[in-house]
Structure formats: structure tokens, C-alpha cells
Amino acid sequence: MKLDLVIRELHRSENELAHALLRMAERHKADHETHHITADLVRWCHDHVRELAGIGKHYGLDLDPSPAGEPTLLERAREKADEWLGRHPQPSLLLLADLRHLYRVASGVSLDWELLAQAAQGAKQVELLELAERCHPQTLRQVRWANARLKESAAQALLS
């Protein structure tokens, strides 16, 4: 069985999604809805990372239970330098780009949960299947939120 590979990849992708959400919250502080909702959505990723690290031990994995942190100092410095040099895009276009990225990352995480659920079901790994059934709906909600915000923001961003 290669369940360890799926668990490891899901752990990595949940961390990537958490990072994308944290970065988005940081970049869109002025948009209170986006800032606060992304801050809430990242908590699910953090819970998923911890749960995957815990269950990974049963499959010989030593995964870090600590979720991804805030954007790095280098990322923040790069964004500030872009602002100072006048390369900061309009906030609506930046939001649209960030939502597109978030949608793609969350969709990938959703796919990983689906793969894990299918493999766990086939291998009759009840605990792993229950984890996927508990966490995947939250990821689907993250995907739907990003998709709804994309639809809501696209016309304004692209036609203004």
C-alpha cells in the first residue's frame, strides 16, 4: 500500500493552502470580508495538518503537526518593494489573482482528500476514511467560497 504517499502529499497541500489563505488575509486587510473569512478558513487547514500528522504516524510518517506560518519576511519585503516601485496592481486585480490562485490550490487539496478517501475505502482503513469524510467537506466549502468570490469580483475587477 502507498497510503503514506497520499497522506504526505495531502499534508503538504494543506500547508500550501494554509499559506495561500494567510497570504491573502495579509494582502487584503482593507477588504474586511476577505481578511476575516480567510483567517477563519485557515483554521480548518491547520486542524487538517495536525490530524494528518497524527494519523501519519500509523503509516510510518513523521509529519510536522505545526501548520504553515505567516508569509515569510522575504515575501513581505518583495511586496513592499513592488509597492514602492509602483508595481502594485489595482486592489481589485490583485484580489482576483489571489482568488484564482486560492481556487486552484483548494481544488487540488479537495482532489487529494478524494484520493485518500478512495484509497482508504479500498484498503478498509476505517480511521483514515473517517478523517477524509470529516475534513473533505470543509475543503469543499473553501473551494465554493473562492469560486463565489471570483464570480462576485470578476466583473468589477475586469471592467473598471
Q: Is residue 144 very low, low, confident or very high in pLDDT (cuts 50, 70, 90)?
A: very high
Q: Is residue 46 very low, low, confident or very high in pLDDT (cuts 50, 70, 90)?
A: very high
Q: Which residues contact 159 (CB under 8 A, 6 or more apart)?
A: none
CA distance 90 to 22: 20
What confidence score (pLDDT) does residue 156 get? 76
3-class secondary-structure state, position 23: helix
DSSP state of 65: -
Task: Average the pLDDT over 76-105 and give the result.
Answer: 73
Which of residues 150 and 73 earns the better pLDDT score? 150
Q: Is residue 78 very low, low, confident or very high in pLDDT (cuts 50, 70, 90)?
A: low
Which of residues 39 and 137 earns the better pLDDT score? 137
Task: Average the pLDDT over 52-58 and give the result.
Answer: 97
Find the length of the chain.
160
Which of residues 100 and 29 earns the better pLDDT score? 100
Q: Are 121 and 132 in contact (CB under 8 A)?
A: no
Q: Is residue 75 very low, low, confident or very high in pLDDT (cuts 50, 70, 90)?
A: low
CATH architecture entry for 3-159: Up-down Bundle (1.20)
The region of weakest confidence among 79-83, 97-101, 137-141 is 79-83
What confidence score (pLDDT) does residue 91 get? 74
pTM of the predicted model, to two decimals? 0.85
